[in-house]
Amino acid sequence: MLPKVLISLTIFIIIITSVIFVYPRFVGNEPTSFINPVKFGTSLAPSPTPFPFAELTIPYLREREYQSRLGELEKFGENINYTSYLTSYDSDGLRINGLLTKPKGEQPVEGWPAIIFIHGYIVPSQYRTTQNYAQYVDYFAKEGFVVFKIDLRGHDKSEGEGGGAYYSSDYIIDALNAYSALGSSGFVDPEGIGLWGHSMAGNVVFRSLAAESDIPAVVIWAGAVYTYEDFSQFRISDNSYSPPSQTSERRRIRQELFDTHGEFNPESEFWKLVPATNYLDEVKGAVQIHHAVDDNVVNIGYSRNLMKILDKTLILHEFYEYSSGGHNLTGASFNQAMERSVEFFRKYLSKSEE
């Protein structure tokens, strides 16, 4: 009996030694390895992150999962073309609200084509679900699309803090969880969901496209900040922008980001991981950009620079400049840009157009 005890004890010691000294050499030391998903609400987020602020990077956004569902649809309004509803979905444990429209008429067998509508910068406390961008939503909804205008976290009654787009991935995560929620709704074609964004949301939409290769089409109006070098070149002139207060958690985190990695530097190994323009290899979706020359908030140089980059890729893309219309593409430019946006979405989202 003694030899068997000694043999068992020896095997046990070998196993413990392997766990302590060998296992760590193979797990958790890769700088871009995201493991051990932890579930928050109905969304999966990798944890822990392997280096500070990894969640800001495109590799992180590509690796993590997005699993969300729409909440109850509360009827808000109705006309001859569509019915609108107030609803919500989960994004990393936060309740994100939104306005959703469904076309009247017979639902296509594969489901309706849909547009996730992402708003530009509006002071979070002043943003209203049913008021802001109402004309834009109405235009797309009348053309037979499901439109889901999401209230990014911290806006109106959406939970969380609205801390901005460029140095956070919060809004991208909100957009991609909305993409998941719509795709699992049962009334939307999961292969026919596009993204539309204005101003600040240009960054959100384009980084979402780089993170989720299945998105078939995106449209951006007067967008900003794609390479991050362009941010220092063109800046943004928005008198309505109200940065987080000195005591806010968001401001503290942003300062910690700069203290850790410095401000944007294209030669920095960390900052190379952030711009979507460094991750266009897997992008399959088509891109359409609209921008007015007289935009006095977001310089048209942002869009022109992006087009030069896309010209060197195989990504399908279109660019329309407008002589007038300002930052919101008002007047005649609005109707022209909307017509082009609808045509573009029909081409890339609707199976009947294939």
Q: Which residues contact 35 (CB under 8 A, 6 or more apart)?
A: 27, 28, 46
Q: Environment class of residue 2 by beta-carbon count within 10 Å: exposed (0-12), middle (13-18) or buried (19+)? A: exposed
- Spatial strand order in the sheet of 317-322: 74-78, 82-91, 94-103, 146-150, 112-118, 188-198, 217-221, 286-292, 317-322
> From CA 110, how far away is CA 220, in angstroms rounded?
26
Write out pLDDT tens, residues 14-52: 444 443 443 333 333 333 333 333 322 334 444 445 799
pLDDT, tens only, 332-345 = 999 999 999 999 99
Per residue in 71-99, pLDDT (tens digit) is 999 999 999 999 999 999 999 999 999 99
Task: List phi, psi (to 5°) of 199.
Answer: 60, -120
Which tokens in the block code for residue 292?
Answer: 């007015």
Every domain of the chain and the residues it spans: 66-353
d(Cα 1, Cα 11) in Å, to the nearest integer?
16
Highest mean pLDDT range out of 120-124, 194-198, 347-351? Answer: 194-198
Percent of the chain clearing pLDDT 70 (strictly above):
82
Residue whose C-alpha is closest to residue 223's, from 329, 150, 151: 329
Q: How far apart are CA 155 and CA 162, in angstroms?
A: 6
pLDDT of residue 17: 44
Q: What is the pLDDT of residues 132-168, one digit of tens each?
A: 999 999 999 999 999 999 999 999 999 999 878 999 9
What are the tens digits of pLDDT across the range 250-270?
788 889 999 999 999 999 999
Bridge partners (DSSP) of residue 318 are: 288
Q: State the pLDDT at residue 164.
A: 85
In whole angstroms, give the CA distance from residue 63 to residue 46: 8
Q: Give the confidence band of 241 by pLDDT, cuts at 50, 70, 90.
A: low
Residue 300 has pLDDT above 50, yes or no: yes
* Mean local confidence (pLDDT), 292-317: 98
Higher pLDDT, 163 or 57: 57
**pLDDT (average), residues 59-77:** 97
Rounded distance between C-alpha atoms, residue 204 and residue 197, angstroms: 8
- 239 pLDDT band (50/70/90 cuts)? low
Q: What is the pLDDT of residues 110-129, one digit of tens each?
A: 999 999 999 999 999 899 99
**Mean per-residue pLDDT, 180-188:** 97
Average pLDDT over every residue of 298-304: 98
What pLDDT does 77 receive? 96
Task: Of 224, 198, 220, 221, give the one whose Cα is nearest residue 209.
Answer: 220
First to last CA, the chain: 76
Q: Could you give the maximum distance between any two Cα atoms of the chain, in Å?
A: 94
Statement: residue 213 has pLDDT above 50: yes
Q: What is the DSSP string of 145-160?
A: -EEEEE--TTSTT-SS
Whether the link from the prior residue into 48 is cis, omega within 30° of 0, is yes
Nearest by Cα to 227 from 121, 328, 312? 312
Average pLDDT rounded to a whole number, residues 208-218: 96
Q: What is the CATH T-level fold of the domain 66-353, as seen in this structure? A: Rossmann fold (3.40.50)
Instruction: Please answer whether residues 182 and 70 qualify as being in contact, where contact means their C-beta atoms are separated by less than 8 angstroms.
Output: yes
pLDDT at 185 > cutoff 90 = yes
Q: How confident is the model at residue 208 (pLDDT cuts 50, 70, 90)?
A: very high
pLDDT surpassing 70 at residue 306: yes
Q: How would DSSP label each residue in 271-322?
A: GGGS-GGG--TT--SEEEEEEETT-SSS-THHHHHHHHHHTTSS--EEEEEE
